[in-house]
Structures are given as C-alpha cells and as structure tokens.
Amino acid sequence: MNIQMLDLRGQYRNIKDEIDNAVASVIEEAHFINGSEVDKFAGELGSYLGGKYVIPCANGTDALQIALMALELKPGDEVILPAFTYAATAEVVALLGLVPVLADVSPKNFNINPEEIEKVVSEKTRAVMPVHLFGHSADMAGVMAAAQKLGLKVIEDNAQALGAKFHFSNGESKSCGTIGDIGCTSFFPSKNLGCYGDGGAIFSSNAYLAERLKMIANHGQKEKYRHDIVGCNSRLDTIQAAVLRVKLSRLDTYTAARQEAASRYREMLADVEEITLPFEESFSTHVYHQFTIQYRERDALKAYLASKGIPSMVYYPHPIEAQPAFRERVVKRSSTDVSVRLAREVLSLPMHTELTFEEQKYIAETIKSFIAGNK
Ligand SMILES: *Cc1c(COP(=O)(O)O)cnc(C)c1O
C-alpha cells in the first residue's frame, strides 16, 4: 500500500482531459494575465457562494493582507485572531503595523471562542479574524454578535473551509467566508479547492468594499495609470483560473468524498477511547480539509505510523505566541491554554478525495495496535 497524505496525482488522473484542454486553450490564446477565464471563474465562485463579489488574487496570504488594507486600519490598531492558526493570519496583521491580539480557541472545534473576544478586546481593537480551521466553521453567530456589540469588523480566514456552511439558529445557512465583512481564501494546491500553483480570492457582499479590494489588488487603480490609493500587485494567473473552473464544478463531489472518508474513519476508530475524534458542531457542516485527532502521546503515535508507512502531519506544532517572529509582537490578555495543548496533541491523518476503504482500514488498525501496546 502506498498511502498518501494528499493525492493530487490521483485526482488529476480522473480529470486529466478536461484540465489539459483548459490549460491548452489558455496557452493557445496567450492571454496569461487577466484572461477571460479569470472573470468567468470569479463569477462562478461568486454564484457558488450565494451571489457575492469575488476578487481573485495571487494567494491566500495576499487575500488576508488586502482585506486588512481595505478596512483602512491604522498602525497600532489591534486585530483579534485565534491563538491556534496558520502563521499567515498573524503575519499579515504584523506586516501592516497592526497589533495581533490572541484569543483562545474551542477545544472541540479548534476555532476562536467568541467569549474570548470580549475578554481580550480594548479601545484600540478594530477587527477580528476568525479562521475556519480544518474545514469546520468557527461559531460565527457568536463572533458576529460580539463584533456587533464591540464595533469590530470581521475578516474570515476561509482558506481551509471553502464549501462549508454555517447554520444560524433561525434556520438560515450561509457559506463560510460570506458572513463577516470580508472573506478570504487560498487555492494553494492542497486546499479543498486547489489550483496547480498559487492562487487566492477575497469575497464581500458590500459593493463599496468590493471595489476597494479590487483596486488594492491592482496597484490601487480603477482606471489604467491612475492610482488613487496605495495598493499592491496580486493577480490570479489565467492558467490557474482555468484549472479552478474545472475543479470548482466538482467541489461538492470532492467535499462529499472527504465527508465519506471522515465517516469511515469515525466508524473504524469509534471504540478507541484514548483518541479524540474531530467534533462536528450542529451549527456547521464539516468539509474535512483535515481529519484531525487529539492524542496525549501524539509524537509517539506519529512516529509509529511513519514506521508502518503511514504519513500524518501536525497542523500546527506551535501556537502563534511560541513563534519567534511573533513572540514579542502579540498581545495576550487571557489564557491560551487550549491552543497550547492543541499544538501538543493534534495529529492530522491522511485525508483526500481518493482515499480508499482499504487504506483507511490499515490506518485505523495500525492506530489501534499502537494504542493497545501503549496502554
Ligand atoms: C493556506 C492558508 C493561508 C495562506 O494561504 P496561501 O495561499 O498559502 O498564502 C492562510 N490561512 C490559513 C488558515 C491557511 O490554511
């Protein structure tokens, strides 16, 4: 068995003709930057998200940076973000001279705990950035209520949960990334909607913000050679847009394949008390960017799996406050114990659209034999 953490080659083999044709037509047309595929993709993603403005850009980190720039935050303004996330969320805040303020996360869904927002807010706080980690929504009803009460803008880091839905208590459901003022995503190859290089996008329902976001991503210009605001250069290549159009049409099928793989893991690992399986809150669907378990002796389990030919990954081994780049820049006003523990105990198992029952059975049996020998 040759188990992959992620099987992009296997996925490509199943859509090869369509992808090859899409890429070849861009090359034929030779309109590599701002070709028609880019607008078409933006329109299709906007419809997929329920009628939103979509501004494609060069990667997910740029998307977050452009979102912060569009909100006109000033150096020294504070932005609240989860203490357990990928570094990019904190990085863009620090890069713009803003102050990252850490909020602890829920031990169940790994995402920002809305109650913590009120604990760490100050009169300098202007925005909050919930991250929908591993494919599961943050408690957006709680986040939006806190943001409204405290007068904060909301930027959703939706790099890992494209296609996930948040269910409000009134029965309404919205796509992750379309609930706050601005949503951001990444098309890094390993993401649920990944291209064949770098890519990203920014979403908003607000026409004024959408126009600013578009200008900022394009050197601050609306009209060619007239620069109204200081922006940057962040574009999605036409070839990547062509790949993304093919894959967006299959995103729901891919999500279903991940969800099936997740429920197989659940059945196979249900009786292993020592391991905490990923939690599914009633307020969110889970699109399983990762299938992340928690186990006290994570490093030993990871090493054992590796010795049996099973890859696994630690997302993320260090909380933001332990990163040398951020140690002295972040503000911590409340305990981040959950984040610190998660960094020690999380382990993501192989998860992708091509994962088979037999592979998962071998993974589950190997985990069980390790736990049995480690009691
Ligand atoms: C991948 C990711 C990003 C950054 O996206 P890039 O396209 O790699 O720049 C930001 N935040 C989170 C949570 C991510 O998973």
User: Residue 198 C-alpha to ligand 1 middle, in angstroms?
Assistant: 10
C-beta of residue 132 within 8 angstroms of C-beta of residue 156: yes
Q: Is 192 in the pocket of ligand 1 (CB under 6 A)?
A: no
Residue linked to tokens 């037999």: 358
C-beta of residue 189 within 8 angstroms of C-beta of residue 309: no
Residue 369 has a pLDDT of: 96
45/263 Cα distance (integer angstroms): 27
Q: Is 60 in the pocket of ligand 1 (CB under 6 A)?
A: yes
353/361 Cα distance (integer angstroms): 16
Tens digit of each residue's pLDDT (9 = 90 or more) over 65-81: 999 999 999 999 999 99
164/362 Cα distance (integer angstroms): 29
Amino acid at 249: S
Q: Is 85 in the pocket of ligand 1 (CB under 6 A)?
A: yes
Residue 85 alpha carbon, nearest atom of ligand 1? 13
Nearest CA to ligand 1 atom 14: 159
Q: Is 157 in the pocket of ligand 1 (CB under 6 A)?
A: yes
Residue 46 has pLDDT above 90, yes or no: yes
Range 333-353 average pLDDT: 98
**Which structure tokens are listed for 62?**
């740029």
Which of 57, 59, 61, 81 has the most ligand 1 atoms within 8 A of CB, as the residue to mutate? 61
For the residues of 141-177, what is the DSSP string, one character each? HHHHHHHHHHT-EEEEE-TT-TT-EEEPTTS-EEETT
Residue 232 has pLDDT above 80, yes or no: yes
87 falls in which pLDDT band (50, 70, 90)? very high
Residue 323 has a pLDDT of: 96
Range 114-135 average pLDDT: 98
Residue 186 alpha carbon, nearest atom of ligand 1? 7
CA dihedral 41, 46, 49, 51 (to 10 degrees): -150
Query: Which helix H or strand E contains 185, and what residues bound it?
Result: strand 182-186
User: Residue 375 C-alpha to ligand 1 middle, in angstroms?
Assistant: 37
Which of 65, 84, 86, 112 has the most ligand 1 atoms within 8 A of CB, as the residue to mutate? 86
pTM above 0.95, yes or no: yes
Domains of the chain: 8-248 (3.40.640.10), 251-373 (3.90.1150.10)
Q: Is 59 in the pocket of ligand 1 (CB under 6 A)?
A: yes
Residue 1 has a pLDDT of: 84
15 falls in which pLDDT band (50, 70, 90)? very high
Nearest CA to ligand 1 atom 5: 60
Residue 374 has a pLDDT of: 83
Residue linked to tokens 């054992």: 304
Range 260-284 average pLDDT: 97
Q: Is 348 in the pocket of ligand 1 (CB under 6 A)?
A: no
Range 198-218 average pLDDT: 97
140/130 Cα distance (integer angstroms): 8
Bridge partner residues of 287 (DSSP): none
Range 215-239 average pLDDT: 96
51 falls in which pLDDT band (50, 70, 90)? confident
User: Residue 86 C-alpha to ligand 1 middle, in angstroms?
Assistant: 7
Residue 218 has a pLDDT of: 97
